[in-house]
Chain A
Amino acid sequence: MDSVVLAARSLVADTLAFHLFFVLFGVGLPIMIASLEGWSIFKKSPRARLIARSWSRALVILFIAGAISGTIVSLQFNLIWPNFTTLAGKVVGVSFALEGFAFLIETLFLTIYMLSWDRFKPIWHWLIGCLVALSALTSAFFITTVNAWMNTPRGFKLDAHGNPIDINTRAAVFSPAAKTEITHSVLAYLFTATLCLLAVYAWMLWRRRLGPAAKANAKRLMFGLAAVATVLGLAVGLAGDQSGKFDAKYEPYKLAAAEGLQNTTSGAPLLVGGIVQGSQVKDAIRLPKLLSFLATGHFNGTVQGINAAPADQRPPVTVHYFFDAMVAIGTVTVLIPLAYLVARWRGWAWSHSKWLLGGLVACAILGILGCEFGWMLTEFGRQPFAIRGVMRVSDAATRSRSAIAFAEFFPFVYLTLFGLTIFGLKRGAKFQEALE
């Protein structure tokens, strides 16, 4: 591949991988904070309000890095992917614009929210928090419609010169992939944010530095968070199942690559694990007919194989790793909070053992990785296209060689910013103070 295209790809991949970490908190945390603050008003619980305030401090620290990476994503799309933006701007420019408006409202009202904890009545403050959560959701909704459109482009035709004509904005924004992709990703963000909050308190208990009152508060909070995480995790699984069925119908080659399915098959097996060699998955555990069932709802349903695609339009079978990792992580991160819930409910002694608390902490890291793998599956599964069937990645990228220098330099700064954010969270969020 052309070195400039490769540099452009790695640059945007670095930026988006980094940005996604903050996106999931940017979408998930405001909802959790607004919910807890609403609970504090409903139950007249000052403790819940204090905890919501500590979460909001964490949100601001995460927001600093997230807003910067979001700004950079926006500028990079124009600078590094000019041909993509030229076409996408004409067809789904509305989504870019409305995402911008929603982000502006989120930023403004988050500032107001943080400055007015002691200045507004709790109910007004909570309403502002709801507005932050709503605008975060709106922002995620519109930007995901762009990604959905890249997967299933609709609402335009191309003239002889490659310019879009007969643009139908509504059809483009609400493309077939929008519903499943938005549901799956937003639920996953919310799930992961909940897992991370749960991990914070599990970590505190693990370190055994809490006083008796704080410990009791942490345990109560963890029970609630584990219950929310379990429900959300199951919802993510259901949304994932819908995504799989959607892929079978609209993006069959992505599903075929994810499962290493060579030929169109009835009663296709699900491959778990294994090693990708070329376009084959070797040494995998084969679960007979399960892929057909998951993709079509019938054990003998027909699933399209990767060989049905022209040779130069096949996504890499390495996406099998991402798919397996995402599903495995999704399963583990539901089971561990569920185990914690059951252990607490039954009063088993090991409910706060180091193993289970460590498992809950690990769930947060796994949850973040799961989101990253899901995003990688979407992006690599669309290869070699930037806009499926319309524009190849190699045609979308810039020809400017400065992209190479960018690509070499940026990861180091991202790593620094990531490290500082984690360190800043440790110092600035004051989770423990809210419990005491």
Chain B
Amino acid sequence: MTIVDFSVVLIGALFGIYAVCASVECGIVLKMLTPGHASRKLFTPLWEVTNVFLVFGFTAMAMLFNGAINSISHALTTTLAVALVSLLVRACVALAIFYIWPEDELPSWLTWLLAATTFLVPLSFAAAGIYLLSGQLFWSSWLGWVLELSTLLGLAATGLLFVNRRSGDKPRAFGEAVAGLWLLSLGCVLPLVSLHTNDRLQHWPLLALVISSGITLAALLARYVELRRLKLWFFAALLVFLTPILLGLANRPDLIAGKLSLASAYGAQAYGSAIVIGLVVMLPLIVLGGWLFWKLFSVQDSSKT
């Protein structure tokens, strides 16, 4: 693996972690929308940690593939503007819900707005990813729309599986159906992506993604064959995490399909040393923090914060 490939994996991993966190947030807001679960205690604004990984992923992209910033800025400002506006509106809504509006008077439109903006942020970043993969803005081709739909299903499915697991419920039919649709769409769409891009994409990462989807689908179905100890949420989260990494690797040697190669965009002298310093010095703290965060959040009662 070359340093450029490693950089692709690193950026993919950062966006992968972001995607997992974002899908968890999506699941929580979906649960808030269901009757009888409007309680704001389901959610907590402390989840803003998600955005840190968004910044990390984007900054790593900008620093490691420095030569791509101009092209990305030129093509994707409008697409990513949706994410920026959504982030701001979502922060306004979160403040209103958690600190201003009395819980028993919370209007449903506010929760719907929280849900819409929570989904729009990762969807607009997915749209940017589709641009890198196809060289076209997502709305200009049917494949872009299908991939966005698949992302939407993935966010919803993984999120619903998470909230079901967290509340101790057995997987419910709706969450399972969404997960099934998502996995089927991934399995079907990825070969189409390959065809649409004139077989330019590397085969093995796509194949790995299709096989992972198949395994997860099997895990979903395994519930019906009494393999109850399988934790479906972990399979789904793993797949969400792997998707940006594998698609990034499949897109090699291009960063923006047909427009910019990884090699010509790469320029990471400074960032390379930062990663080494950061990993050596700060990773143990981040791992410790992540572990404590997870442990505490699993027993968290947000009314006590």
Interface, chain A (partner B; CB < 8 A): 57, 60-61, 63-65, 67-68, 70-72, 74-76, 78-80, 82-83, 85-86, 89-94, 96-98, 100-105, 107-112, 114-119, 131, 167, 169, 172, 398-400, 402-403, 405-406, 409-410, 413-414, 416-417, 420-421, 423-425, 427-428
Contact = CB atoms under 8 A, between A and B. Distances in A.
A68 B69 contact: no
Nearest to B304: A118
Given A93-B270, A416-B92, 9 more contacts: A74-B59, A85-B66, A93-B66, A93-B269, A96-B271, A108-B289, A115-B305, A169-B269, A428-B99
A87 to B, nearest CB: 9
14 contacts: A68-B90, A78-B73, A82-B72, A82-B73, A93-B270, A97-B60, A100-B52, A104-B56, A107-B49, A108-B49, A111-B297, A400-B74, A406-B77, A420-B96
Contacts of B78: 400, 402
Contact of A398 (B48, B77, B95, B269): B77
Given A89-B69, A101-B286, A68 B48 contact: yes
Interface in B40-66: 45-46, 48-49, 51-56, 58-60, 62-63, 66
Contacts of B60: 97
A115 to B, nearest CB: 4
Contacts of B230: none
B77 A79 contact: yes
B55 A78 contact: no
B215 interface: no
Interface string B259-300: 000000001111101110110011001100110110011001
Contact of A78 (B62, B67, B296, B304): B62
A172 B282 CA distance: 22
B87 A71 contact: yes
Majority DSSP secondary structure for residues of A touching B = helix
Contacts of B74: 82, 398-400
A107 B52 contact: yes
B293 A413 contact: no
Nearest to B275: A97
B255 to A, nearest CB: 14
A107 B96 contact: no
A114 B49 CA distance: 13
Contacts of B292: 108, 112
B88 interface: yes
A119 B296 contact: yes
Contacts of A405: 81
Given A75-B58, A107-B49, A424-B100, A169 B95 contact: no
Contacts of A119: 296
Question: Interface residues of B toward A: which range?
Answer: 35 or more
Nearest to B78: A402
Interface in B138-186: none
B76 interface: yes
A64 B271 contact: no
Contacts of B106: none
A414 B92 CA distance: 9
Nearest to A87: B66
A68 B99 contact: no
A90 B48 CA distance: 28
Contact of B273 (A57, A116, A169, A409): A169
A72 B59 contact: no
Interface string B77-91: 110110111011111
Interface in B229-273: 267-271, 273
Nearest to A428: B99
Contacts of A101: 278, 281-282, 286
The 4 A-B pairs with the shortest beta carbon distances in the complex, nearest first, are A108-B289, A97-B274, A424-B99, A93-B270
A145 to B, nearest CB: 12
A387 B56 CA distance: 24
Contacts of B34: none
Contacts of B45: 60, 64
A35 B62 CA distance: 38
A119 B87 CA distance: 32
A96 B290 CA distance: 21
B104 to A, nearest CB: 15
Contacts of A72: 84, 87-88
B77 A400 contact: yes
Interface string B104-132: 00000000000000000000000000000
Contacts of B297: 111, 115
B304 A417 contact: no
Nearest to B49: A107
A108 B55 contact: no
Nearest to B46: A111
B198 interface: no
A117 B303 CA distance: 12
Given A100-B55, A417-B92, A89 B270 contact: yes
Nearest to B93: A420
Contact of A105 (B46, B282, B300): B282
Contacts of B54: 71
Interface in B190-208: none
A64 B67 CA distance: 33
Given A105-B289, A112-B296, A91 B56 contact: no
B70 interface: yes
A74 B87 contact: no
B94 interface: yes
Contacts of A76: 84
Contacts of B55: 70-71, 74-75, 100, 103
A92 B270 contact: yes
Given A105-B286, A108-B290, A417-B92, A89 B51 contact: no
